[in-house]
Amino acid sequence: MNDFVDGAAFSNEQGNRARKLFAAVVLAALDDAISDDKKFGNGPDQIARWARSRDGREVLSCAGIDPNERVVSGLMEFVSKGVRTSVALSREESERRNAAALAEQAEAA
């Protein structure tokens, strides 16, 4: 019984690591599309083409993301904002966005 539990825990941990690896590939694809957008102006189209491709759908699925059109439009919107993933995921950026949202709510009220 203990061997089964240890094996299941190990398999779950391996799956989580693989999912994180594929999520890193998605973040790298977003950064590439953002740099393409800054250089050539076609970043949202590039990420949409990648996400709709067979490889892109496979990577998104392995990362735990359902590769549907809603996700593709969200990826395109993220790329069009032009904020790199490392900055967007940082605590400082999150706090800045929250402060800006609170300031907007205070102005609206």
- Name the domain count of the chain: 1
Give per-residue pLDDT as tens, 71-108.
999 999 999 999 899 888 888 877 888 888 888 888 88
DSSP, collapsed to helix, strand or coil, labels residue 50 as helix
pTM confidence score:
0.78
Give per-residue pLDDT as tens, 21-41.
999 999 999 999 999 999 999
> Would you say 25 and 63 are in contact if contact means Cβ atoms under 8 Å apart?
yes
Count of Cβ atoms closer than 10 Å to residue 99 Cβ:
10
Q: For residue 61, what are the domain limits?
A: 2-108
DSSP string, 6-40: HHHHHHHHHHHHHHHHHHHHHHHHHHHHHHHHHHH
- The distance from CA 22 to its chain's CA centroid, rounded to whole angstroms, is 10
